[in-house]
């Protein structure tokens, strides 16, 4: 077995959380729940379930969240967007989720309904942005609230400074932590975090880690998200196009090394984008030296 990337003391400080998305087919439903059962063995700090823009996955999200709360011991957060919805519509969704046992939310503005690249327009009777949504949620209950953060700035923002100002507004309105967009340049994240702290924002900022299932697909997605793809990733994945086993090993190494480097820079909490698949996440955590609480081999 390879030497773990983290020491026992570093592992003891580590907290991880996972993101899932609601399934779109019976086959994907089975995959999700197999993944939940598998990754639950790591005892994450919490898990989150995504929510489509304008409530496009409202029912699947609600079903998924209800099942997670009813059938697992996982602390479950539901994503919640305000785009395309009035305040009353948002409040009804919150009450439904609260009735299902949800006490944690990931509060997001949401993408423009017309799709990436289009202009965002707030609902005339809705929340104008995520900072207002956080304030509204806090008025409805003592919820634990996560928000988004963008080390390379949101694609629609004028600058990183504008993004950080919005993050401060979200924190001042009661957000408990920020989960970042995925990134691969740890130096960029460190510069961003320094600027965040200089702005007086003290909430935890959890790096969003995306283990690379498919580099070509990731590049297309990253282009829409404003995430840069460093040249070293092409170098690391070179020659793996026709070798799935080698590609998997490289992907696990890249993500584990990214986390280990961030730990040594003082980061202790991480949010992993699982893509509803367990094997790669298992491999990443095993490389770090984490031990499954259920003693199941990863």
Reported as type and span, the H/E element at residue 16 is strand 15-20
Strands 177-182 and 144-149: parallel
Strands (E), 129-256: 144-149, 177-182, 205-209
* Non-local CB neighbours of 72 within 8 Å, separated by 6+ positions: 36, 40
| Residue among 163, 161, 166, 181 at smallest CA distance from 133 | 166
State the residue for tokens 């949800």. 102
Reported as type and span, the H/E element at residue 269 is strand 269-273
**Residue 19 bears catalytic tag:** yes
The packing angle between helices 130-140 and 160-172, to 10°, is 10
User: How many CB atoms within 10 Å of residue 274?
Assistant: 23
The packing angle between helices 87-99 and 58-71, to 10°, is 20
d(CA 272, CA 290): 14
d(CA 4, CA 66): 36
Q: Are 140 and 91 in contact (CB under 8 A)?
A: yes
* Non-local CB neighbours of 7 within 8 Å, separated by 6+ positions: 289
**CA count, 13 A, side-chain hemisphere, 236:** 19
Helices (H) and strands (E) in the chain, counts: 11, 8
Q: Of the listed 19, 125, 152, 190, which one is catalytic?
A: 19
DSSP 155: T
- Active site residues per annotation: 19
């Amino acid at each position: 077995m390879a030497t773990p990337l983290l020491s026992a003391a570093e592992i003891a400080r580590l907290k991880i959380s996972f993101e899932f998305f609601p399934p779109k087919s019976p086959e994907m439903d089975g995959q999700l729940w197999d993944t939940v059962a598998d990754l639950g063995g790591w005892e994450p700090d919490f898990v989150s379930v995504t929510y489509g823009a304008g409530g496009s996955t409202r029912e699947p999200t609600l079903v998924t969240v209800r099942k997670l709360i009813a059938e697992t011991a996982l602390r479950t957060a539901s994503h919640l967007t305000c785009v395309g919805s009035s305040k009353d519509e948002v409040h009804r969704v919150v009450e439904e989720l609260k009735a299902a046992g949800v006490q944690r939310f990931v509060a997001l503005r949401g993408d423009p309904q017309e799709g990436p690249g289009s202009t965002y327009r707030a609902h005339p009777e809705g929340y104008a942005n995520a900072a207002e949504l956080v304030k509204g949620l806090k008025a409805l209950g003592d919820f634990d609230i996560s928000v988004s953060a963008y080390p390379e700035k949101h694609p629609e923002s004028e600058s990183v400074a504008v993004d950080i100002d919005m993050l401060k507004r979200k924190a001042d309105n009661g957000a408990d932590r920020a989960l970042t967009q995925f990134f691969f340049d740890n130096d960029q994240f460190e510069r961003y975090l320094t600027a965040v702290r200089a702005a007086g924002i003290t909430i935890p900022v959890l790096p969003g880690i995306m283990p690379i299932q498919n580099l070509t697909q990731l590049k297309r997605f990253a282009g829409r998200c404003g995430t840069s793809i460093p040249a070293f990733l092409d170098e690391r994945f070179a020659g793996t196009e026709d070798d799935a086993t080698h590609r998997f090993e490289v992907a696990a190494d890249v993500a584990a090394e990214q986390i280990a480097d961030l730990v040594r820079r003082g980061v202790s909490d991480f949010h992993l984008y699982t893509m509803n698949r367990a094997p790669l996440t298992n491999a990443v955590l095993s490389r770090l030296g984490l031990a499954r609480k259920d003693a199941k081999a990863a």
